[in-house]
Amino acid sequence: MAKKSTKSLPSAARTVTFDRAARLYRLLLILNRGPQPREVLMKRLNLDVRGFYRDLELLRSSGISLPLSGGRYRMEKSINEISPCLPFPDPGLSLGEAILLGKGRSPAHAKLRKQIARIMR
């Protein structure tokens, strides 16, 4: 059976825990200081090889390019440009709180309203 790529999954199917979101951000902070080899990143983030590649896949499927060059991963953009693309952990809101936050005109408000509508159908 073929493995499904997270690239084809909606963002809700790629939700992350608070700890993973924090680890992804730490990874970007480390790379923001300069290119790093996989072994250094794994040690600093307390990850095994499989976990490292899962996080790398999630970042790439979120639109964050982290190319490997000369045995080191690097960022192509600044952390300020990249961090808005990071997946956000489930905030644990009640439906009422989500409805309240969904009122507004921005694309983020529209995205939240769409999720609420999916729940309420």
Max distance between CA atoms of the chain, in angstroms, equals 51
Instruction: Dump the DSSP string for 23-62.
Output: HHHHHHHHHHTS-B-HHHHHHHHT--HHHHHHHHHHHHHT
Tell me, what's the pLDDT at 121?
A: 87
**pLDDT at 71 exceeding the cut of 60:** yes
Residue 84: pLDDT above 70? yes
Confidence of residue 10 (pLDDT cuts 50, 70, 90): very low
Whether 49 is covered by a domain: the verdict is: yes
Return d(Cα 45, Cα 118) in angstroms, integer.
Answer: 36
Q: Is the pLDDT of residue 91 over 90?
A: no
Residues 83 and 109 in one domain: no
Shared domain check, 83 and 112:
no
73 and 97 co-located in one domain: no
Average per-residue pLDDT in the chain?
88
Q: Has residue 3 been placed in a domain? A: no
44 neighbors 116 (Cβ within 8 angstroms): no
> In what helix (H) or strand (E) does residue 73 lie, and over which residues does it extend?
strand 72-73
When divided into structural domains, the chain yields a total of 2
Q: Do 72 and 103 sit in the same domain of this protein?
A: no
Same domain? For 39 and 65 the reply is: yes
- Residue-wise pLDDT for 14-57, tens only, equals 568 999 999 999 999 999 999 999 999 999 999 999 999 999 99
Q: Which domain holds residue 100?
A: 91-121
Residues 71 and 27 sit within 8 Å (Cβ to Cβ)? no
The predicted pLDDT at position 6 comes to 41
The neighbour count for residue 82, using CB atoms within 10 Å, is 21
